[in-house]
Structure 1
Amino acid sequence: MGSREKAFQFLREVPRLSEGNIGKLPGTKTPKKRGYGQNGKERGWGASARQKMHYGPLGYESGATPIQRKVPFERSYNYGHHTVKQFPPISLENLQLAIDTKRIDPSKPIDLTALSCSGVFPIDPEKNQFGFNLTNQGMDLFKAKVNIEVQWADEQAIAAVERNGGKITVAYYDLHSVVALASPLKFLKSGQPIPRRLTPPGNLLHKYCDPASRGYLAHQDLLQQERIVTAQKYGYEPPVYDENDELFKKTKDPRQIFFGLEPGWLISLQDKTIYKPEKEELKEMYVN
């Protein structure tokens, strides 16, 4: 009998593999389920006063099956909370205080880098923080003329900035750009090329295209019309920006994250040199 016939005979005689005749791998153990504790009721959360001072995890219902597991189609009240974009607030009062104490220079454009590097307004990308929200608290005390870029602002905060002849822009940055802007020195030392700014997600695109919100993707003519409407509503003269003014000269392209530095450039702090991409496919990738 040849080897082929022996193999076929072996397959005919050996029973089919199933869960019943397959042994466990050496070293593997069956995980044990959480028991009911020594006394049989508390599921390990304790019965003493010290242990009852600590709460169980979010959604724990004293050993009972949580409602989001009983009713599968009903999501938990905190569903997706860890993915929500956070915008830490900055009040106009605190911004004026930072300017008065020389933490921020109002003669230069103020963006996310200037705010985070001031040491007064920290931002942590690991906590899903995508920028700053300028609030109207202390709007009557705000007297500075600034060119500021934030990621969120309400109408009263916009009016307070433009009432003093300043300019405000509401711009979106993706998380990779926020990492670079939050600590630019650390990012440049890492040897990575400057990233390009990505477009806002679909649920925020209307916000950043809206001239009433001073979105950075809005048309300039519509922005000026909305400035006039806001000035008439709050009773002040609409701002007029001089193109020769150093405060308003610097602008950012929708793909830029740093003033004067294009995406794709590699900055060497040790050599004090800027390396620019030469291949056409790289140039096209960072431009589009």
Structure 2
Amino acid sequence: MASKVTERALNLIKSMPRVALNNIKPLPHTSFTKKTDRRGNRKKKGRGDKGQGARGTWDPLGYEGGQNPLIDTSPRERYYAQYAVRRQYPPVSLLELQRLVDLNRLDTSKPIDITSICNTGLFNFDVSKNHFGVNLTDEGCDQFAAKINLEVQWTSELVIAAIEKNGGTITTRYYDPPCLAALYDPLAFFKKGQPIPKCKLPPQDALAYYSDPNFRGYLADPEQILEAREKLAQKYGYKLPDLTGDPVKEMLLMRKDPLQIFYGLEPGWIVNLKDKCVLKPKDEDYLKYYNTSY
């Protein structure tokens, strides 16, 4: 039965004509009929006489025209409002800080502030770029093991826990641009022979942060800071080291006055590098100015 069907199919193929250009049809939807002009033998192609339709000079994509374009009719979203005057805090991680300690580029027997970090020569801070100090990030918080007294300008809760877990202390401190310029390069500042400036209070939008004991703000109540240390230790599940019997307790609890920018140097003093002495003012008006916070 199968052989008869095969023979019949082969005979049918033999009787069919060969494929040639004169016996094949085009594929469907490949041929189009020419559009004729219904209005006679004209060459306008239905576009009219003149104008944008005839010449194809349509408006570019996105052009709206009229008196009120989209940029004027839509409300503004000021995502970058006052971007040029925002305070910038260049990041420094705990991993980098631990590496500086391991390489003896930071002395842990003394308080560490932004001047100590700048003296390593590995970080660049520029007042003209609105750099307002160090933002200590939590990268390497599990590997951090140094016991230090640290002062930074911005940080997070996890960083505070990593430092206090090892028995160290941390303070967040604000400095205004003139004070930051002196802190970034103290030697260049002392060569000018200018009095050490007094530090101003934080601006209104930063006052809450530097007064918050949870962020160890330098304007916070010391008793509230002790309570915040205990709460943070309970939150992260570590035992808070006791500083009362610590041999380096004095160094760990050393703090600057809110008007002071250098350890051991008061506002208004002049450092004479040539004679290696410090000039202290005696005038009452002079002392009153440098001892007030306005």
TM-score range, shorter chain: 0.7 to 0.9
Q: Contact (CA 8 Å) 1:216, 1:254: kept in 2 or not? A: yes
CA–CA distance in 2 between the matches of 1:203 and 1:102?
37
| Structure 2: stretches of 5+ with no match in the other structure | 1-61
Write out per-residue CA displacement over residues 31-69 of structure 1, whole angstroms, 9 at most, x where no aligned residue: xxxxxxxxxxxxxxxxxxxxxxxxxxxxxx99x99x998
Map of 1:147 onto structure 2: 149
CA contact (8 A) 1:68 1:74 kept: no
Number of aligned residues: 226
Corresponding residue for residue 196 of structure 2 = 194
Q: Kindly indicate whether the alpha-carbon contact (under 8 Å) linking 1:145 and 1:166 is maintained by their aligned counterparts in 2.
A: yes
Instruction: Write out per-residue CA displacement over residues 233-271 of structure 1, whole angstroms, 9 at most, x where no aligned residue.
Output: 111112332486252253210100000000000111001
Secondary structure (helix, strand or coil) at the match of 1:204 reads helix
Q: Secondary structure at the match of 1:90?
A: strand
Q: How does 1:15-94 map to 2 (within 5 A)?
A: 70=72, 74=76, 76-94=78-96
Please give the TM-score of this superposition, normalised by the length of structure 1.
0.73
Q: Is the 8 A contact 2:108 2:147 kept in 1?
A: yes
For the residues of structure 2 that align with 1:194 and 1:119, how far apart are their CA atoms?
A: 23
- Taking the TM superposition and a 5 Å limit, the aligned residue runs for 1:191-230 are 191-230=193-232
151, 156, 159: which is aligned to 2:158?
Answer: 156
Residue 86 of structure 1 aligns with an amino acid whose one-letter code is Q
Q: TM-score, normalised by structure 2?
A: 0.72
Identity over aligned pairs, percent: 44
For the pair 1:254 / 2:258, whether they are aligned, the reply is yes
Provide Cα deviations, 1:89-119, integer angstroms capped at 9, x if missing partner.
1111110011111111111100010011111
**Residue of structure 2 in register with 1:287 after alignment:** 291
Of 273, 278, 283, the match for 1:274: 278
RMSD between superposed Cα atoms in Å: 2.4
Deviation string 1:119-176 (CA, Å, 9 cap, x unpaired) is 1222111110000011111100001001000001100000000000000000110111
Contact 2:114 2:133 in 1 (8 A): yes
Amino acid at match of 1:134: L
- The aligned counterpart of 1:172 is 174
Work out which of the residue numbers 264, 267, 277 in structure 1 matches 2:268: 264
Quick one: structure 1 residues 244 and 97, their matched pair in 2 at CA, closer, same or farther if it must change by over 3 Å? closer
Cα 1:239–1:68 shift into 2, 3 Å: farther
Deviation at 1:75, TM superposition (A): 6.4
8 Å CA contact 1:98–1:120 kept in 2: the answer is no
Q: Distance in 2 between matches of 1:75 and 1:207?
A: 27
Relative to structure 1, the CA distance from residue 225 to residue 249 in structure 2 (aligned partners, 3 Å threshold; closer, same or farther) is closer
Residue in 2 that maps onto 1:128: 130
The C-alpha deviation readout for 1:194-248, integer Å capped at 9, x for no partner, is 0001000011101011000100011111000000000001111123324862522
* Cα distance in 2, alignment partners of residues 131 and 165 from structure 1: 24
Match of 1:182 among 181, 184, 193: 184
Which runs of structure 1 show a deviation greater than 6 angstroms over 4 or more consecutive aligned residues? none
- 2:123 match: secondary structure: coil
CA distance in 1, matches of 2:70, 2:193: 46
